[in-house]
């Protein structure tokens, strides 16, 4: 591949991080562009291996997950692109690793806020090694009809509308990822379309500049004209002026520097991007637009006539015979995802099974229509019994009430979690109570319920070693170990889990002290900086609160560690969930409907006394 071509129809890439949605968008672009094989060949996820399931057209395929870049490269020796979704804290480190390989040629750094000293060093290493960096603080870019990075260009409908499924004659480069989508739209309506488009990123020092990519376009015989969008702040546009004056750029260039509104605002105002701030007259949008125009660049009077200038330049090149407009192929059809179609009211699907004992669709989880806080307020004595049988002594009232609180919360909260689902399916298959309950219980582990014990172990380990929360998070990351009890699929900092709040409030009000709970919340303060769903979840709150409860009851750290080692904390989850599993079992027996029905039998009917056999 020539140096000026970053991508081709055969380009394959690794995605660093669990970015299933971004991968699906890349594969949809591949399919729309007529590629024969998917462009994403593997995910790099240091915390675990396995597979991600995605679609290739209508066919479901699996893409492997590897724990390291080295392992991924051993299995895919031709992949030369890494789309790096690592956070700003680790993006530089993982990019350095990719730069040191012989295989990876292009790296896209999505995160913003990567330290500037790292970006300068990364840029220098990449230039020395003949490699290309896109970003940071970018959505990436694409080569029309060949390859695209992550979420660049937006939805599949936008890609169709802007004709990005086939190459045109225009090379486009911008600072902003959002404006790159608008640029693709403008170019597609006024030319034969984009050949390649890149957003260099909005940080003060992008690893590659507008000029770096314009020089590639200059060298590429398939690109006949260039279009660009700069912004106020910095001196990148003056480098373009210099390149035009010394003859390195000769192809027609239409360019506009955004931010002319800054003159109406107080000096020093920053516009979104870290680099979009003008402190001197020569870094203003007006000054840079004037310098570009003086150098021979086609510069509109305002953004309003940007499209007109692009069209006039393109039409002139067509008239001169420089551009032969690309033919318009029919856009292939890419199926709509079920979730999207359902949200738009385009499809409906019958339920796989029915549950009448619980409902998690509202603001609060309910049992048989009763909100969980009302269930908790009922006077039950189970906690006292457990105190006698497990602790071998009478425990204080607040301790018994806390145990009852936990059991009520974890008894059940829906039919879709793995344990409940297994119990329902086993019961519907005709098995008895014991088999059905066992099938649910055996799924309890680190990813479902078992995190209660793991959370107690992890957080007490951090405290025993006198680790500050940040040091604890860093240590767990170096061990490639997820912090158990942290993270939720639905709830977040802004949408907290009511159940966690109830338990934490009770503990703070009634326990002598809550050092482990306080430590866990301090760790949450670190983890939620990366993602707002990395909160202390139900399992984690139960684990750390029980450690604090045992301390309040006079147990030593040594005794608590012995309980952790025997899996003591998971017992509360097992008992509570067994209650829920039994409810699901009896519920399915009362329904007495067969597990499967004829696919054409969509007529509602009364349930007979005995289920009819379905052939």
Which amino acids are annotated catalytic? 273
Instruction: Report the distance separating Cα 66 and Cα 552, nearest Å.
Output: 44
CB 41 within 8 A of CB 12: yes
Paired tokens of 52: 């991600």
C-alpha closest to that of 41 among 81, 94, 1: 81
CB 69 within 8 A of CB 45: no
CA dihedral for 379, 381, 386, 388, sign (positive or negative):
positive
Euclidean distance between the first and final Cα of the chain, in Å?
A: 59
Residue with token string 């070693």: 465
Q: Supply the Cα-derived Rg of the chain in whole angstroms.
A: 30
Residue 292's SS3 state is helix
Residue 428's SS3 state is helix
Instruction: Report the distance separating Cα 60 and Cα 147, nearest Å.
Output: 20
C-alpha closest to that of 199 among 250, 150, 240: 150
Any alpha helices (H) in 6-135, and if so which ranges?
Answer: 20-33, 69-75, 91-99, 116-129
C-alpha closest to that of 225 among 163, 132, 158, 318: 318
260's CB contacts (< 8 A; 6+ apart) are: 232, 285, 286, 289, 302
CB atoms within 10 A of CB 434: 9
Instruction: Report the distance separating Cα 275 and Cα 258, nearest Å.
Output: 12
For every residue of 267-289, DSSP letters joined together read TT-B-SSTT-B--SGGGSHHHHH
Report the alpha-carbon angle 49-53-54, nearest 5: 135
């Amino acid at each position: 591949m020539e140096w000026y071509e970053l991508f081709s129809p055969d380009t394959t890439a690794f995605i660093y991080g669990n970015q299933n949605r971004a991968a699906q968008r890349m594969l949809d672009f591949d399919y729309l562009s007529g590629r024969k094989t998917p462009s994403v060949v593997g995910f790099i996820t240091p915390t675990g291996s396995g597979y991600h399931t995605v679609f290739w057209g209508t066919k479901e395929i699996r893409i492997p997950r590897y724990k390291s870049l080295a392992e991924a490269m051993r299995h895919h020796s031709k992949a030369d692109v890494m789309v790096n979704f690592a956070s700003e804290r680790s993006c530089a480190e993982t990019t350095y690793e990719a730069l040191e390989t012989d295989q990876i040629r292009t790296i896209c750094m999505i995160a913003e806020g990567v330290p500037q000293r790292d970006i300068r060093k990364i840029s220098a290493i990449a230039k020395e090694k003949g490699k290309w960096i896109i970003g940071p603080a970018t959505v990436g870019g694409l080569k029309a009809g060949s390859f695209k990075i992550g979420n660049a260009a937006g939805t599949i409908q936008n890609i169709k509308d802007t004709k990005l499924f086939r190459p045109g004659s225009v090379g486009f480069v911008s600072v902003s990822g959002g404006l790159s989508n608008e640029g693709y739209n403008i170019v597609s309506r006024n030319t034969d379309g984009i050949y390649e488009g890149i957003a260099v990123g909005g940080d003060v020092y992008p690893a590659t500049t507008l000029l770096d990519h314009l020089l590639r376009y200059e060298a590429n015989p398939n690109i006949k004209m260039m279009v660009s969008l700069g912004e106020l702040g910095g001196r990148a546009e003056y480098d373009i002026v210099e390149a035009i004056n010394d003859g390195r750029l000769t192809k027609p260039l239409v360019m506009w520097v955004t931010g002319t509104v800054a003159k109406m605002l107080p000096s020093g105002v920053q516009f979104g991007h870290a680099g979009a701030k003008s402190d001197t007259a020569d870094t203003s949008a007006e000054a840079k637009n004037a310098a570009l125009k003086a150098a021979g660049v086609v510069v509109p009077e305002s953004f309003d006539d940007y499209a007109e200038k692009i069209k006039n330049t393109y039409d002139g090149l067509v008239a001169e015979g420089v551009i032969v407009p690309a033919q318009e192929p029919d856009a292939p059809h890419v199926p709509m995802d079920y979730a999207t179609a359902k949200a738009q009211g385009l499809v409906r699907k019958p339920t796989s099974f029915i549950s009448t004992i619980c409902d998690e669709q509202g603001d609060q989880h309910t049992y048989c229509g009763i909100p969980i806080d009302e269930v908790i307020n009922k006077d039950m004595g189970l906690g006292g019994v457990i105190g006698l049988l497990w602790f071998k002594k009478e425990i204080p009232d607040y301790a018994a009430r806390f145990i009852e609180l936990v059991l009520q919360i974890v008894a059940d909260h829906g039919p879709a979690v793995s344990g409940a689902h297994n119990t329902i399916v086993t019961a519907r298959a005709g098995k008895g109570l014991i088999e059905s309950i066992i099938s649910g219980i055996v799924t309890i582990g680190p990813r479902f319920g078992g995190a209660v014990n793991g959370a107690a172990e992890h957080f007490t380990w951090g405290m025993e070693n006198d680790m500050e929360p940040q040091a604890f998070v860093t240590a767990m990351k170096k061990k490639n170990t997820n912090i158990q009890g942290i993270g939720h699929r639905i709830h977040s900092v802004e949408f907290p889990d009511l159940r966690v709040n109830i338990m934490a409030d009770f503990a703070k009000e009634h326990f002598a002290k809550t050092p482990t709970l306080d430590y866990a919340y301090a760790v949450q303060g670190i983890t939620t900086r990366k993602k707002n769903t990395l909160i202390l979840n139900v399992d984690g709150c139960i684990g750390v609160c029980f450690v604090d409860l045992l301390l309040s009851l006079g147990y030593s750290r040594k005794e608590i560690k012995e309980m952790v080692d025997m899996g003591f904390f998971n017992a509360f989850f097992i008992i509570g969930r067994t209650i829920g599993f039994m409810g699901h079992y009896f519920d399915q027996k009362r329904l007495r409907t067969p597990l499967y029905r004829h696919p054409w039998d969509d007529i509602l009917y009364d349930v007979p006394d005995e289920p009819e056999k379905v052939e």
